[in-house]
Structure 1
Amino acid sequence: MKAIMPIILVFTFFLSACGNESQISPNSDESVVIIDEERSLINFHVLLENENRKKVGPLYAKFIIYDETLQEAIGTESTVDFAYTNGEKQPFYIDANKSYFISESFVYNAEIDQEELVNKVEVVISDENEMEILQFLISNIEKYEATQ
């Protein structure tokens, strides 16, 4: 009986450690880069889903842009934080079994090819300790052309 007790304790420890792990996932169908030619805006729209039974957060998001033309067009470096207008990183929380939508918009000044942006914007989600818990590429690109 004494030999079984340590095994039970170790087993219980592993089960409890796994139970708190975040289960955040992207909704790849709803996550999209939108090129709005009429307003000269590029929009990154991301939908995240919390598959946990409890609220998660604070979480932080950043976008990594792998296309140099897009970087130059919006006048930024390759990494852009999801942030308040003053530049401070914006935390967010996702309620249990719910979705959360984040979006960033940029004025652009260049000719942008829709096809070249496929999988060129990566979303990275981190926790309050800056540990990356999710990363994925946005493969959906939509273009709204200016009306004549």
Structure 2
Amino acid sequence: MSLKDRITEDMKAAMRAKEADRLLTIRGLMAAMKQKEVDERITLDDAAIVGIVDKLIKQRKDSISQFSAAGRTDLVDKESAELKVLEGYLPARLSAEEIGAQVAALVAELGASGPGDMGKVMGAAKAKFAGNADMGLVSAAVKQALAR
């Protein structure tokens, strides 16, 4: 079953169970997927859907930090619930240690050295870790590897 089919089935299940908050989040995800398909005239594969989910998760995390700073606990709770639903569509994430080891190997493979090669390494890392790792952790690991 593709990720798109799973999301559709989850939407139907949320409708049947009358889970309004979960349904709203899934519909938002489906709208973002449909928008991407229409804008680029493509059919999304699982990797592209994971990219969209990553983007939506990043938006939720940013919103949570902003609402926390403003003292809006009601909105923090809402965004946190949406974040949990969206995280359910991501594949298993790599740990920080696994990311560090793979980034070190990638830096050695590319022959990169120094902060000037950050863009080259991040380009390769983005392709390698797409959907499997938090890109913030990957960026930190690349900075650390290039600082040596």
**TM superposition score normalised by structure 2:** 0.26
Larger Rg: 1
Greater fraction of residues in strand: 1
Which structure is richer in relative contact order (CA contacts within 8 A, separation 6 or more)? 1
Would you tell me which structure has more helix in proportion to its own residues?
Answer: 2
Return the TM-score normalized by structure 1: 0.26
